[in-house]
Amino acid sequence: MNKTVFDMVDILTRIEATKGSSLLSAQQKEVVLGEISRSLPAHQLCRTCAKTYQLIQDILGGMTNGSTQNSTSESPKKTPDAPKKRGTPARRKQLLHKADEDGRGSGTSARVVNKKA
């Protein structure tokens, strides 16, 4: 079901209530806000309120997808060099000998019937 801006405003009021709560410690607030962040609907379901959805994500910070810390990206590993071509051009050309020929072979040979006369 697609979400509307009214659903997003409801989430905003819940975030505000959690941040302003005197019943929760700072650590408990982070836990609750993290759970709110993880329970947000997918952005595909918020087509009509994409900007409001982005605002909610900005308010919640980096808590989306269960991550509370910035991820450190590793540098990509160097890919191995491409294998060098072996053989001379004449040798490679020899492999393509009779390229226009039927590649399926000659088929089955005709049976020879031993005729006794």
Q: What is the pLDDT of residue 68?
A: 45
46-82: per-residue pLDDT in tens? 888 888 888 888 888 855 444 444 455 566 677 777 7
Within-domain flag for 26: yes
Within-domain flag for 52: yes
Separation between Cα atoms, residue 32 and residue 68, nearest integer Å = 12
Which range among 8-17, 31-40, 50-59, 82-91 shows the weakest confidence by mean pLDDT?
82-91
Domain count, the chain: 1
**Mean pLDDT value across the chain:** 75
Within-domain flag for 88: no
Q: What is the pLDDT of residue 27?
A: 92
Within-domain flag for 25: yes
DSSP string, 12-64: HHHHHHHHT-SSS-HHHHHHHHHHHHHTSPPGGG-GGGHHHHHHHHHHH-TTG
Range of the domain at 38: 5-66
